[in-house]
Amino acid sequence: MRMAHQRTVLTGLLMSALLFLGSLPARAEIGFRHPSYIVVDAATGRVLTEFEPGAMRYPASLTKLMTLYLAFEALRDRRITLDTSIPFSERAAAVEPVKLGLAPGSTITVQEAILSMVTLSANDAATALGQYLGGGSISRFAEMMTLRAHALGMAHTVYANPSGLPNPRQVTTAYDMAILARRLILDFPDQYHWFSTRRFLFRGRWIRSDDGLLKVYPGADGIKTGYTHAAGHTLISSAERGDVRLIGVVMGTQTIPEIDGAMTALLNEGFAEENAPSPPETELAESGHPLPSFVSGLIVPAQAATAPQPSDPPLVAERDWGVQVAAYTSERMASYVADLGGRIVGAGRADVERAVTGGRTLWRARIIELSAAEAHAGCRALAHHKLPCWLLPPRAGGEIASR
């Protein structure tokens, strides 16, 4: 299937799966009724997949990436050093809710500010650093942020503060955020390592990163999470496999599991499209997000087979039953999920079945050659891992029914 057609199918499926209720609200009503996302190749900027990448969103703490971009510029130009002392004004000390909690008059170094922003997402540190770089003025620094954004090609981004705390004037798009993430990687390769920090010691206490994918996704090395009530959960992730680096942006989910699952599926699909080497199976199995319930554009729910419920298995010993996890537009994704499902079920054989439905080619991830008892127990095991499962009972001739 050609790439253009794949993207068309993907977009159509996502619109259905995400229950898209209409077009984007007017600018005065910026919010989210569905997530938007984009995945790009970091080296070339080529878009691999996208959904509503130009939809206006509140950036939440993704804002801190521009604050850091300007800080890295200042470091490069030797206007500051990592040891430069950053004072905490009353305004910086008063911001809520996520913060280092230092009193007015306290100081931190630039290095401490960077580390606290990429791990804790400390709003007080971002405010103090922005105020310092803006010559004492938050509004001046916000203007600097917006001007730099537009110079980078982020045409639909406006900044109002250095932290991402709610402000109706502070808006962006997933597309613009992908530009910024890519520029951080390309423009400051000597500074990008900060984003992979999982924890650091700050004055006697450990501060840990809140980026879940950084801890579990094979090849992930940053870069930023965010959340406000108006923005929902936002996430930019970068991961590298072989000589392929991808950047993913997801904006506007309701929960952390949704956004982590979405990013996992999107990066998996992107690496498959780029023919990147696969990580060891043990890493995939332990990634924490084997099959996201979100990003259903990569997942087409299978139709339930008419069969007894898992709690009521028929007493048949033949191994002519199966289970189906889901169907995909990607054969690689279906194969991956079938293998993973097979390990969870602990019996039978992983299988991928090609099907054409409504003119679309789908790939069904299945585990076959099961007894009835194994199929029912397998569905219970998959449900324990929060994975869907449909029983595939045998037909009269002993063949697994294909639904």
Question: Which CATH number does the domain housing residue 224 bear?
Answer: 3.40.710.10
Is 89 marked active-site?
no
> What is the tens place of the pLDDT at every residue in 249-287?
999 988 888 888 889 889 988 998 888 887 754 454 444
| Domain co-membership, 36 together with 64 | yes
383 inside domain: yes
Query: Would you place residue 381 in the very low, low, confident or very high pLDDT band (cuts 50, 70, 90)?
Result: confident
Overall average pLDDT of the 305-332 stretch: 61
Is 61 marked active-site?
yes
Share of residues in the chain with pLDDT > 90 (%): 54
| Domain co-membership, 169 together with 103 | yes
| Domain co-membership, 240 together with 331 | no
Of 393, 330, 387, 323, which is closest to residue 362 (Cα–Cα)? 330
Overall average pLDDT of the 133-149 stretch: 97
325 inside domain: yes
Lowest mean pLDDT among 214-218, 224-228, 323-327: 323-327
206 inside domain: yes
| Domain co-membership, 181 together with 308 | no
Residue 376 has a pLDDT of 87
Higher-pLDDT residue of 137, 49: 137
Pair of tokens at residue 181:
């993430």
pLDDT at 348 > cutoff 50:
yes
Range of the domain at 331: 300-403
| Domain co-membership, 281 together with 304 | no
Domain count, the chain: 2
| Domain co-membership, 57 together with 98 | yes
Domain end position, chosen among 246, 262, 285: 285
Is 121 marked active-site?
yes
CATH of the domain at 333: 3.30.70.1070
327 inside domain: yes
| Domain co-membership, 262 together with 319 | no
290 inside domain: no
Domain end position, chosen among 259, 285, 311: 285
| Domain co-membership, 263 together with 215 | yes
| Domain co-membership, 113 together with 83 | yes
Strand order across the 390-392 sheet = 349-357, 360-370, 321-328, 390-392
| Domain co-membership, 268 together with 326 | no
> Do 61 and 121 meet the contact criterion of CB atoms below 8 Å apart?
yes
Q: What angle do CA 97, 103, 107 make, to 5 degrees?
A: 105
295 inside domain: no
Question: In Å, how far are 7, 8, 361 from 2, measured between CA atoms?
Answer: 9, 10, 12
293 inside domain: no
292 inside domain: no
Lowest mean pLDDT among 50-64, 114-128, 219-233, 377-391: 377-391
| Domain co-membership, 144 together with 16 | yes
Given the residues 36, 116, 121, 209, select the one marked as catalytic. Answer: 121
Residue 289 has a pLDDT of 43
| Domain co-membership, 365 together with 329 | yes
Query: Would you place residue 12 in the very low, low, confident or very high pLDDT band (cuts 50, 70, 90)?
Result: very low
To the nearest whole number, what is the mean pLDDT of the chain? 81
pLDDT at 233 > cutoff 90:
yes
Domain end position, chosen among 258, 285, 312: 285
pLDDT at 360 > cutoff 80:
no
